[in-house]
Chain A
């Protein structure tokens, strides 16, 4: 890491840590990572252990979040569900960010016909109601966690592409890019070595917000029964049974919903925190 880079990170951190909400959000995100990593250790019960003698029991010392219609421990299922949410969030956003970044860089750097074609493609993709597109592809192919991640990624890159394109357009005109071209750098080297590092920071913000969005989409799909399929626990499919038993088992709906809410909230606040810390106009 060069001096200039470490200076940048130092300033970023200084600004970021003054934002208490964002710090708390970072804590929540870190905790979630730990929970999903250590799921087998911290889950009090086996997530799929069926127990016919404790069906739909309310929260107790034995089962903190109660049990579901098959007598499975809801807390343990939520802990294992965190793994799914995290995986879907990161892989889907990874796909979206990679496609978006490459499209944005190419579009902004080459401009002209390439730019027009790529940006019109972005316009077209934005016309489709995203959830319809996702629903169509997933029901037509098989509902599986991989298909979900891929489809959410493939339908979520357009915003990043526009963002990176705008950054690239302004960076392209800078003197150091001209200098790089003068000493004979290839286009690929200029794009990935000189433009990308300077265009990437706003992407961090949309990535963080995107993880939240992807988790919401996955849970909605699982809730509809076309996402993560039972018996694998996911926050969305726990809520499906929550819906069926809502009249006599509120805990089956409350806790997985709260988990989704808190997780998505944390990623959104983290994204906002990064945005504020990067934005030179925001003074705190």
Chain B
């Protein structure tokens, strides 16, 4: 790396490191410390805990298996066939993943019959809906890289399509499938908003149990133990994910680094069977993604089975809903600014500083391990002594949003920065650019798209964040997801319709964000 860049690394790392130490590491250590101090470790052996851990685990396992069953056929058509709307389909199945969890919960409340509300089935269905896009993206990225001639070779050796899939494709997809399943498993294991909305009083994951214990029972010590349990489980899983990913990377190192592989797998579906397969999978999955969203929008304009815009009008005129809208927008703006700045500084420090700065990437990834709910709890119990008595400070909530967004920003920016050919920087220097000019005209320019992408994703995180927010909300700074959850728990057609109207607003916002991200991702070859 360029000397000036390497020299800048410690300065670049200062703010991200201090920020993470203060708002993630300190609260987490505090949680560990306090949970040991309380003599309530016996909660780990109670029936309640066993029930919660058991439910959390089996629903996550089942959800993951179902996600794979749904995602594989979709990945099969998007990475093998040319068809109209292929890119749109990939974008579409990704929309649920960035939707606020409470919105997905609301959507399933609406489409599922009343008898299934508050059932495990509803939670699992919502988890599948939520995570299929993630799995499709991971699996199809790998699938597209498999050389089409391998399939042809198997065919000429006498393997049928299905045998080819089982004996050639599936083994090659193995690592992608494993990392997809582990990620999906973690998402379902730590699911919070969906369970809060769909679970009712009877169904609790570790994550919601932390909330129930701390906020409703007032049993902070019990919540802390649950948090520790959760951190340990996810930490172990993340280690597993990263170790498999590392081996996967070693695997695909020799594939081309820039641009797409020369040979495209995409072919026009030829046989009738292929056409039917593509049309069925594409249309069923598109309908399955859109239907719950449409039903949310529909619910917002129906009152007693009649078209009625009262809910929408009241959303616009209701001062509390309007103020949550403004709060959400303001926090999203703050989150975008702070998290992209910190993420950018962190990514630069990691890439420019070399191996000694790897700890920065570990630090900035911590919020994933610690989970949003625990972050919220940790912040409350940590910053409660003067001079840093910040429990009441409104800034804590957008800050928590930032913490959740920073790992994503880092993941988007770092690879682009790392893969930037250093020859470009050399060229720029021989043309007379100082280090700062070089950074501005080369590095910054080339990660510009990644910056916009990460800003878009950060805004989605902030707009949908529910876990940490439910701890940090004060009487005057409710955000839209919190408002939805509050309204949904109250009776009355109009109030429910208002919740669905707000959910519609968030759906539209998230669809817009995915559109921005995918447009940037596909335009212009190279970068």
Judge: A and B partners, yes or no.
Answer: no
Interface residues of B (CB under 8 A from A): none
